[in-house]
Amino acid sequence: MSETSTVLVTGASTGIGAVYAQRFAQRGHDLVLVARNRERMESLATRLRSEHGVAVDIIQADLANPADLATVEARLASDSRIGVLINNAGASLPGGFADQRAEQVGNLINLNAVAVARLANAVVPRFIREGRGSIVNIGSVVGLVPEFAMSVYGATKAFVLFLSQSLNVEFGTKGLYVQAVLPAATRTEIWAHAGKDVNAMQGVMEVDELVDAALVGFDRRETVTIPPLPDAAQWDAFDAARQAMLPNFGQEHAAARYRSVN
């Protein structure tokens, strides 16, 4: 990634996406902002142009809409100035799984998982040809915690983590860097959309602190960054336990415990 690569940020009108745009503008990067709310993006773009002298383009798009998604895919595939993709756009749903309608579930999966994979898929071939490029996928610790009972949201974030790790394995030696950022509770509008009062919650991180920590991980080229986790050794142990199982998966027969009726 060159020092002046353009950065495309999805979900850029507010919250985590807007702070990412601010931080990369401070670093001197031109931007492409993608979100549904054009008015908010215009306001942010005007401020960033004035304060940091960067160029800012705007794409109004609902990434759960196939036509809008295709527009952003085309920009990523064709614009060689874009060297960083921040896959931030996402949402949650109110209520439990039994309360959520099939259409809501489908739309959430389209936004949180399908759009993330398709945007990465649009830009990776160009990054590989150029031998450089970075993708930041905003996941969530919820993808590691089924006990939170956020079934669909958590499943989409588990997908984001796996996709990020796998892309690093597949393309890390070809100039591609992929970072999965796993926030815990962060003070954004997602809580209001999910019907929860964030001000009544404990342990909520401010957006600026979350993004600044994630960027430390980005600069260090971490594969997985979990800003609220105090002890990095816990993640290392978790990942090591997973890898320790791998040699045992390739067996011709079921494990002995499954070959007994007792």
Which one is catalytic: 20, 153, 177, 258? 153
Q: Tokens at residue 165, please?
A: 């790790």
153 is catalytic: yes
Q: CA angle, 206 as apex, 226 and 190 as ends, to 5°?
A: 85
Residue 198: closest CA among 15, 23, 34: 15
CA distance 215 to 223: 12
CA distance 236 to 239: 5
The dihedral of CA 41, 71, 73, 67: what is its sign?
Answer: positive
Q: CA angle, 190 as apex, 84 and 184 as ends, to 5°?
A: 70
CA distance 57 to 45: 8
CA distance 262 to 239: 32
Residues carrying an active site annotation: 153
